[in-house]
Amino acid sequence: MTDAEPSPEPVHEPRLWRDDGWTASVQKNEDDDGWAVAMTPDGQVEPALVGPWTMGRDKKNPKPLDAPAFHTLVKTATEFVRRHQQQLHAALHQRIAIDHEGNRVEVALDIEPDDENPSAKLSAFDSAGSLLAEVRVPPSFKLTRASATAWAAGGFGPRP
């Protein structure tokens, strides 16, 4: 969904609640007799979060969605998405500080994920933040203290 597209109209039904950029959908759990709720951000096809949903008083049907439950689900799903994005960022942008010739050097691995042509670069910075070296590496390159130290010991050459 682009910024120019309006948000879908709010829906407040017992098993479907759409508001605040999210859709909560209560569905029969395929694995057992229970119910599940799927939280999907507007513009997405796949849910960001699926979790168990409470049975109603009759122990057969799901408890109906309501505003307080929906807002709790939105908060939970938003936090889940935020943590996932932080983990992805940490995996794609790694940094390690090493000692090299008596100086502190920070080595960074930055991976650019792309379905057709992923790439990565390895960079070294001095303690003032100035770039010492930069080379392209395969996206599968593992940045460890040992690999960073070996690259520095080799003069920051083109093949770490």
Q: Quick one: which of 83, 100, 97 has its CA closest to 154?
A: 100
Q: Quick one: which of 9, 13, 32, 8 has its CA closest to 24?
A: 13
pLDDT digits (tens, 9 = 90+) for 132-150: 999 999 999 999 999 999 9
pLDDT at 5: 61
Share of the chain above pLDDT 90, in %: 81
pTM: 0.72
Angstrom distance (rounded) from CA 103 to CA 25: 56
Rg from Cα positions in the chain: 24
Record the tokens describing residue 84, joined without a space.
Answer: 């996932």
Contacts of 7 (CB under 8 A, 6+ apart): 21, 42
pLDDT digits (tens, 9 = 90+) for 40-88: 999 999 999 999 999 888 888 899 999 999 999 999 999 999 999 999 9
Q: Are 122 and 107 in contact (CB under 8 A)?
A: yes
Angstrom distance (rounded) from CA 122 to CA 109: 5
The residues spanned by each domain of the chain are 11-65, 92-153
HSE-up of residue 66 (Cα within 13 Å, Cβ side): 6
Mean pLDDT of 118-141: 95
More confident residue, 130 or 30: 130
